[in-house]
Chain A
Amino acid sequence: MFRIRVTDAMLLRDMITAISTLLDEATFDISTGGIKLRAMDPSRVAMVDFEWPKKIFDEYVCSETMKLCLNISELLKLLKRARREESVELSLEEKTNRLQITIKGKYLRTFNMPTLEPIEEEVPIPKVTFNAKAEITTEGLRQAIEDVSLVSDHVRIEIDDEKITMRATGDLMGATIELKKGDVAFLGVETKEVSIANFSLSYLVEIIKAAAATSEIATMEISTDMPIRLDFKQQQEGKLSFYLAPRIDVE
């Protein structure tokens, strides 16, 4: 048996939106303790690592460990119909193996959708030793990434002892964005060594924009020419992290 309920539909909608930046279909690991998901996008460039303990939900009923694979894009379409202050309940209809989505608010809506064959693959977390780590407001990060994306489609991120620097060079324009000690958006930095890596903005913009709706504080970890880890602090011990592989110079 599996049934969850949130009184604020936005919570679920924002979480599914964040996952949907990388995945069209997602296999959730559901246990008595909560819901987890770890998956890579089809091109294996980025990974989402997500965890919501049962206490985030207003109601959480799970009788046994199971895998639940859903078409995220379809689910999102339904959730987008829900308004703030409306409650959403998801429950698994065991006989038919369909997911029932109930939105309660001004009126009652019940949708159902098929569950898919779960993907059994266990995805390990990338083994990276991060040499630089910075904490910033998610909003500040979102603004900075939107700034650089005006001039190019990739960005060079550097973290040293006192700041994060983002550089982009486009056809006509260039941009340098600094977030440093003393800035409102800047919360702290820890560096073993100055680290620099390049990343595709098409991924970063999508991820950060969606994650910003779920989180106020972000932690960015990098090492030179290694994947970046972005962790978006969730309420009540939830977890939402993304890994993104770097772009590296050819030759």
Chain B
Amino acid sequence: MRIAGVDEAGRGSAIGPLVIAGVLFKKENLSILQTLGVRDSKLLSSSRREQLFYEIKNIALKSHVIILSPLEIDKVVNAGRKLHKLNRLEAQIMAKVIEVLRPEVAYVDAADVLADRFKEHIAENIPFKVKIISEHKADIKYPIVSAASIIAKVERDKAVSELQEKYGNLGSGYPADQKTIDFLKKWINRYETYPDFVRKSWKTAKRLKNEADTKQTKLT
């Protein structure tokens, strides 16, 4: 039996893409994941994650990654209630990943507060029959979802570090990170509009832009 796991990385970030990754395994090979020490990506160091990234890709039947740009995210978020729309988008993208992997069973980490609604939204976007198990914290409960979370996280980190190289220290990209705030603030004060790797629909980005709308005057 072919089993898939799907997870995302970078959902809450104000900078960089949202990455959705899926991995496909033969059921009998699933135990290898545990032997490798695959766990939720948040519980692993970045170097360990990178190591596992290659090992997972080696033993998986298939893996697939979809990267959503800040622009695509802004488009849906601006179209309606933020989380609602983003959840729908995420479900559609996860459906695409599952479609590529063609599993018989797919485990997904539920992005919606209602795990079953999330499952419906995925299912209605897949043209073939597949059993979907949508649960909160699936990335901790199921090694196959942990594996997907590692792929997603490593891809997302790659994207962020490419931005770092180009634009300097922008922190993790998350609004709770002071470095990220400082980076956004500096940028908006200098250039007045955000670059395309920033999610302009994010509250933090909007607030900093608003603040920049008052201008420091000079004495002379």
Co-assembled chains A and B: yes
**In the bound complex, what is the Cα–Cα distance between A47 and B218 (angstroms)?**
10
| Contact call B220/A250, Cβ cutoff below 8 A | no
With contacts A171-B204, A171-B207 known, is A248 near B219, CB below 8 A?
A: no
With contacts A171-B203, A171-B204 known, is A40 near B219, CB below 8 A?
A: yes
**In the bound complex, what is the Cα–Cα distance between A247 and B218 (angstroms)?**
9
Nearest opposing residue in chain A for B216, CB measure:
A247
CB within 8 A of A154: which of B214, B218, B219? Answer: B214
| Contact call A126/B217, Cβ cutoff below 8 A | no
**In the bound complex, what is the Cα–Cα distance between A43 and B215 (angstroms)?**
13
Closest Cβ–Cβ distance, residue A222 to chain B (whole Å): 14
| Contact call B214/A45, Cβ cutoff below 8 A | no
A227 at the interface (CB under 8 A from B): yes
Closest Cβ–Cβ distance, residue B177 to chain A (whole Å): 13
| Contact call B219/A47, Cβ cutoff below 8 A | yes
With contacts A171-B203, A171-B204, A171-B207 known, is A126 near B215, CB below 8 A?
A: no
CB within 8 A of A126: which of B213, B214, B219? Answer: B219
- Chain B at the A interface: mostly helix, strand, loop or mixed? mixed
Map CB proximity to A onto B181-220 as digits: 1 under 8 Å, 0 otherwise: 0000000000000000000000110010001011111111
| Contact call B203/A247, Cβ cutoff below 8 A | no
- Chain A at the B interface: mostly helix, strand, loop or mixed? loop
With contacts A44-B219, A126-B219, A243-B219 known, is A250 near B214, CB below 8 A?
A: yes
Nearest opposing residue in chain A for B185, CB measure:
A153
| Contact call B216/A245, Cβ cutoff below 8 A | yes
Closest Cβ–Cβ distance, residue A64 to chain B (whole Å): 30
Interface size in chain A (residues, C-beta < 8 A): 23
**In the bound complex, what is the Cα–Cα distance between A200 and B212 (angstroms)?**
11
| Contact call A245/B214, Cβ cutoff below 8 A | no
| Contact call A248/B204, Cβ cutoff below 8 A | no
**In the bound complex, what is the Cα–Cα distance between A8 and B187 (angstroms)?**
45
CB within 8 A of A43: which of B211, B213, B214, B218? Answer: B218
CB within 8 A of B217: which of A47, A153, A248, A251? Answer: A248
Q: List 25 A-B contacts (CB under 8 A).
A: A40-B220, A43-B218, A44-B218, A44-B219, A44-B220, A45-B216, A46-B219, A126-B219, A152-B211, A154-B211, A171-B204, A200-B216, A227-B219, A243-B219, A245-B217, A245-B219, A246-B217, A247-B214, A247-B215, A247-B216, A247-B217, A248-B214, A248-B217, A250-B214, A251-B213
Q: Which residues of B contact A (CB under 8 A)?
A: 203-204, 207, 211, 213-220
Q: Which residues of A contact B (CB under 8 A)?
A: 40, 43-47, 126, 152-154, 170-171, 198, 200, 227, 243, 245-251
